[in-house]
């Protein structure tokens, strides 16, 4: 009985080592982190200012649209 358990465990571990399904997800996660770091490096402080300005403009347009109606 113990031998059967050992054999099944060994076979399951070998199959697990051969399984490549999760590798692609990990690669995409690493690429995503690298792209995020590059974007943050390029837009260091300017991105925050641009997003704040865009949100202010959107808020202003919505307010003006509500005032007109």
* pLDDT tens for each residue of the chain, 69 residues long: 778 888 888 888 888 777 767 677 788 888 988 888 888 777 776 777 778 889 999 999 998 888 875
Instruction: Specify whether the CB–CB gap between 47 and 40 falls below 8 A.
Output: yes
Backbone phi and psi for residue 20, each to the nearest 5 degrees, phi listed first:
-110, 5
User: Could you say which DSSP state residue 2 is in?
Assistant: H
DSSP string, 20-54: -HHHHHHHHHHHHHHHHHHHHHHTTTHHHHHHHHH
């Amino acid at each position: 009985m113990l031998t059967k358990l050992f054999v099944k465990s060994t076979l399951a571990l070998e199959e697990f080592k051969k399984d490549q399904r999760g590798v692609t997800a990990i690669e995409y996660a690493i690429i995503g982190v690298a792209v995020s770091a590059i974007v943050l490096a390029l837009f260091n402080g300017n991105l925050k200012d641009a997003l704040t300005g865009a949100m202010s403009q959107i808020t202003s347009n919505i307010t003006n649209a509500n005032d007109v109606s």
